[in-house]
Each structure stands twice: as C-alpha cells, then as structure tokens.
Amino acid sequence: MSQREAQWEVVIGLETHAQLQTKSKIFSGAATAFGAEPNRQACAVDIALPGVLPVLNREAVVCAIKFGLAVGAQIAPRSMFARKNYFYPDLPKGYQISHFEIPVVQGGGLTIRVGDTEKFVHLTRAHLEEDAGKSLHEDFHGKTGIDLNRAGTPLLEIVTEPDMASSAEAVAYAKALHSLVTWIGICDGNMQEGSFRCDANVSVRRPGAPLGTRREVKNLNSFRFLQQAIDYEISWQINEIEEGRKIRQATVLFDPDTGETRAMRSKEDAHDYRYFPDPDLLPLEITPAWIAEVKSTLPELPQAMQARLQSQFGLSAYDAAMLTAQREAGDYFQQAVAIAGAESAKLVANWMQGELSARLNREERGIAASPVSAQQLAGLVRRVADGTLSSKLAKEVFDALWTGEAKDANAVIEARGLKQVSDASAIGPIIDAVLAANPKSVEEFRAGKEKAFNALVGQVMKASKGKANPQQVNDLLRQKLAG
C-alpha cells in the first residue's frame, strides 16, 4: 500500500453469482449443461413463447438451503419470487424472476484468513434467480446473435455486508466462498465458463468518515481480475477525491487488457426495475422438515473438518486450513492418512503442500486429477516414515509415480534398487574411501571449517548414489573424523 492510500479506508462488499448444479433450469425442464449448440437447450418456457408459465425447480431450492445451512444463515420459511422488469434481447420475458424483498437465505457469514489474521465476513443475503441468455456480437456482421441456452439457469446471488477492507480480503473471501460452494456441491466453480462470478462494490473514505459513494465493478470472473479491478478502483477513487472531484455512483466494467475500469452507466440512467411479486408463482414455503432432510445430506463442512484435523492429527491451524481449502484436498488427505497411519499425518500434509501441490500447480491440474493418488502417496510416505527412503530418494519415487512408471512406491524402489542404506558396515567403507580421496577437506575440517564437513557428507552421498541414510552418514563421519 502506498503512503497516500494509507490515509484512506477502503470499504468493499461483494455480490457473487454462483450457478447452481441442477440438471434442469430453475423454471423449466430444459437441460443446463454448458457448451451446447446455441439455442438447443432452450425450451418454450426459456424462449418465453406466448402463454408459457414458470414452474420452480425444487432442486435449486435444495441448493439454496444447503448454502444457508453451510454459512449458518436463516432459511426463510416463506419467500417470494419477484419480477425484475427490463428490456434486453437476451432476456426473453422482458423480466428476470428473482427473489427480491424476502430472500431465501438471510444472514450468516464466512471466516476468511489473510496472512495470520482471521476475519468474519457477514452475509446480507443469498437469493435464487434465473440467468439471462447471451448476446453474441461477433460473427454476425453488424447484427447481434442471441443464444438462450443459459436463459433460466439457476443462480444463487450471494451478497456480503461491506465488511472487506482490501483487495486481499476480497480475494480471500471470494476464494473461501468458491471453496464452500464447490465443497457442498451446489456449484461447479468453473470461473472461465462463468459459473462463479463476482461484482465488487468499492468505496473509499477518510478514517472515521461516513461511507463514501460506491462504484460497482461488474462480472469479475477470476480472482486475479477481482484483485486488479479493486486495486484500480481504490487508487482511481482516491485520486478523484484528492483532485477535488466527487465520486458518482456508477456501474463499471473492468478491462483485463488495460487493467482499468470504465463506466457502463451512472445512477441517473439506472433502470427502474418495477419489481413486483410474480403472480405466476406461489410463495416458496420451506418447512423445518425439508431443512432437516437437506441437512442430513450435507457433507462435513470445511471449518468443522479443519478443527477435526487439528485435534485428531495434531496439525497446525495453517496446515488444516490449507488441507480444507478444497473438499478434494481434504478427502485426499484423509484417504492418504487412513493408509499411511495417523502418526504420519504431518508427513502426508507436508508432501501434499510441498511436492504434490508444486507439481499440480506447474501442470495446472486440480488435486482430483492428480496422477499420484492418495493411496500412492500414502505408500510413499510409509517408506519415508520407516526409513526406507531418504527425502531425496522419495522425490525420485514421487517422480516415477507421477509419470506412471509403476503402480506404487514399493515397485519403484524394487525396480530402481532405491532402498536407503542404513547399515554401518556398508556405509563405513564408503566413508573411508571418501576420506582417503579428500585429504584437503579433512584438513580444513580439523582446522575448524564446518563447511568442509558438509562437502564430505555430499561426497559420501554421491558415492552411495544417494542411498545412504544421511543421518547415519553424519554420525559415522563425525565418529571417524574424531577418531
């Protein structure tokens, strides 16, 4: 943060649209799968033929209930769908059906972590609504194409209180939310396909002053863009105010190419959406029995799992948080520990956060698509824990498993003869040979140069082709040099 920005307070609230993983649309029976030929997944209801009517998909409501339970919110026993009226070619009915006055999920929140600091971000609400179609401006030579496959796709719009004070907090929240909605299986989280997208409301103020005027950055579909857009807005707004101009409420778009935001429309030309309760739909009633039924299908939630991993396996809060950032990671960890043994939990955690995560990142894979399975990693960790493999050899085994050279660690060790040598009678002669060949290093060590010792260890390891147990090499070498 620059000196100038330190004199300002930043206030951020996020609105996130999470596309719900239902088989069919929220008010019609058409499929929701991504990537179909344009307008092949749009039925009479989606294209708003005269006379058609919406029917609520209960599966979308189940998703909303799951979310409400996961964030500790109130689930409204009775909520209403309203019509949000505006004209746009990809909005077939001329209105969007959305919860308005009474949202289905009220309150709740998420704990986020930036560095060592934890913060609770409060949610205002989460409500169900339908997505619009897409306007396609390319390939039509001055005309606009309309694809209504997406029209009617169920969305959960999740709205926070203005609780975040930096782009880092906003990104941490968005990541935590992303992890949660994928964790409970209501959203596939695919940001490129638009399944999870954020709008950021950003304002700045002098510390202690009333809230500043906010600008809303629309449709941010990556964490990086979210960060860049917010940072740009903060510095733009500060600059405007410092130069004596007023911030005007506006909706803006972020241009990833320039890293800047530009105004889409100001408050003056904002729509009057003429909300009113949709007379085609009955009020949505959610009984305690329905909530209980949904609750019984929820998996263990990330925070509960985090706490359990700490108490059950003695992991640090940091490790537990990392392992529960995604449900797949938590599952992977637990599968591996079940095989490797609870005493190796820390070792499994280290491997997952070290070699495994580095390789996955490098190849841009998710842990669910890891070439090294939890079973394979567990087998590897067992051989490390029982001293068969040094960490250097273990990495070699890991590589072999990654490339699919063998089905488990034991097979790699066998095939490559990688067993660690911990036998003094085998290591002794190697040390003797190394000492004989490096009189200069021996002399230096005796003169007090510790570095020379490390050079000798290196030589021994090299001579043993890495198989010698490093601890044993250390001990034996010291004995011999002292002798």
Partner 1 sequence: MIESSLQQLSAALAAKKVSAVELATLFLDRIERLNPALNAFITTDRERTLAMARAADARRAKGPGEHCGPLLGVPLAHKDIFCTEGWRTTCGSKMLANFVSPYDAHVVSQLKTAGMVTLGKLNMDEFAMGSSNETSHFGPVKNPWDTNRVPGGSSGGSAAAVAARLAPIATGTDTGGSIRQPAALCGLTGLKPTYGVVSRYGMIAFASSLDQGGPMAKSAEDCALLLSAMAGFDERDSTSLQREAEDYSRDLARPLAGLRIGLPKEFFGPGMDDDVRAAVAAALDQYRQLGATTVEVSLPNSGLSVPAYYVIAPAEASSNLSRFDGVRYGHRAAEYGDLTEMYCKSRAEGFGAEVKRRILIGTYVLSHGYYDAYYLQAQKIRRLIATDFQEAFKVCDVIMGPTSPSVAFSFGAKSADPVQMYLADIYTIAVNLAGLPGMSIPCGFGTADMPVGLQLIGPWFGESTMLNVAHQYQQATDWHRRCPPIGD
Residues making contact with partner 1 (CB under 8 A): 44, 47-56, 83, 85, 87, 89, 92-95, 144, 146, 272, 274-276, 279-282
Least separation in angstroms between CB 273 and partner 1? 8
Partners of 197 in beta bridges: 17
Least separation in angstroms between CB 254 and partner 1? 24
Partners of 16 in beta bridges: 158, 198
CB 456 within 8 A of CB 432: no
C-beta closer to partner 1: residue 132 or 347: 132
Q: How far apart are CA 413 and CA 400, in angstroms?
A: 10
C-beta closer to partner 1: residue 49 or 415: 49
C-beta closer to partner 1: residue 51 or 244: 51
C-beta closer to partner 1: residue 44 or 241: 44
Least separation in angstroms between CB 55 and partner 1? 5
CB 346 within 8 A of CB 388: no
Least separation in angstroms between CB 57 and partner 1? 11
C-beta closer to partner 1: residue 49 or 424: 49
Q: How far apart are CA 447 and CA 195, in angstroms?
A: 66
Least separation in angstroms between CB 323 and partner 1? 44
| Closest CA relative to residue 21, chosen from 147, 126, 155, 129 | 155
- H or E segment and range at residue 391: helix 391-402
Write out the two tokens for 80: 């209403």
Write out the two tokens for 160: 């926070």
DSSP output for 413-449: HHHHT-PPB--HHHHHHHHHHHHHH-HHHHHHHHTT-
Q: Judge residue 52's burial from the number of C-beta atoms within 10 Å of its C-beta, 0-12 exposed, 13-18 middle, 19 or more buried.
A: middle
C-beta closer to partner 1: residue 110 or 284: 284
Least separation in angstroms between CB 207 and partner 1? 34
Angle 6-12-17 from CA coordinates, rounded to 5°: 150
C-beta closer to partner 1: residue 29 or 428: 29
Least separation in angstroms between CB 52 and partner 1? 7
Least separation in angstroms between CB 70 and partner 1? 28
- H or E segment and range at residue 152: none
Least separation in angstroms between CB 100 and partner 1? 11
Write out the two tokens for 366: 């998710």
Q: Judge residue 252's burial from the number of C-beta atoms within 10 Å of its C-beta, 0-12 exposed, 13-18 middle, 19 or more buried.
A: buried
Residue 290 φ/ψ, nearest 5 degrees: -65, -45
CB atoms within 10 A of CB 13: 22
CB 156 within 8 A of CB 128: yes
C-beta closer to partner 1: residue 217 or 284: 284
Write out the two tokens for 23: 């088989």
C-beta closer to partner 1: residue 93 or 125: 93
Least separation in angstroms between CB 358 and partner 1? 50
| Closest CA relative to residue 153, chosen from 96, 76, 86, 198 | 96
C-beta closer to partner 1: residue 13 or 54: 54
